[in-house]
Structure 1
Amino acid sequence: MQKAVALKYDYNNAPTVAAKGSGLLAEKIMEVAEENGVMLHQSPELVEMLSTLELGEEIPEALYLAVAEIIAFAHQIKDHQW
């Protein structure tokens, strides 16, 4: 079953879980993200770990590097759109 986790990052604190779900809810989360120009990243292992967190909970320090790389990549893509 498809899972999705949306993260919120305010550049001051660690990213937090803004939304999460599976099945139809996961599809809706991804649909809303696309409609709002939010980059989607597929990583089943990362989603599995993040989906264990509660809404509003900060990501654990062990995931900082993985999430930071995704955020940096998203910014690089956004900055270089034609």
Structure 2
Amino acid sequence: MNTPSPKPQKAVALKYDREKKGAPRVVASGKGEVANNIIKLAQEHDIFIKKDADLVELLSKIELNKEIPPMLYKAVAEVFSFVYKITGDKRK
């Protein structure tokens, strides 16, 4: 019996610059080894990692350095809100 091989892992990194306003931007995206490197760098720099395959799938379709589209604002805002709560970030 052949076991299907797992899909390669995907990862997307977002950046939000409060000074520039606007929406968060996709600053890194990839699958397989690239995804592993994105995750490793995030861990090395104590950057929060949220596992959400559906959201990653949508975000991975956005070009690098482009803002996320309005249809994803709510989903990404929920992630950022959660991060701020668990890290104690009180910036507004």
Structure 2 length normalisation: TM-score?
0.84
Measured in 2, the distance between the counterparts of 1:79 and 1:49 equals: 28
> Which position in structure 1 is the counterpart of 2:73?
64
4+ residue stretches of structure 1 with deviation over 4 A?
none
Deviation at 1:37, TM superposition (A): 1.1
Structure 2 stretches lacking a partner, 5+ long: 1-7
Percent identity between matched residues is 46
Task: Identify unmatched segments of 5+ residues in structure 1.
Answer: none
Residue 39 of structure 2 corresponds to residue 30 of structure 1: yes
- CA radius of gyration, larger in: 2
- What is the aligned counterpart of 1:9 among 10, 16, 34? 16
Q: What TM-score, normalized by structure 1, do the two folds share?
A: 0.93
Question: Aligned partners of 1:19, 1:62: CA distance in 2, in Å?
Answer: 20
Number of residue equivalences: 80
Cα deviation code 1:11-70 (max 9, x no counterpart): 211000000000011000001011111100011111001101110011010000100010
- Structure number with the higher helix fraction is 1
SS in structure 1 of the partner of residue 27 of structure 2: strand
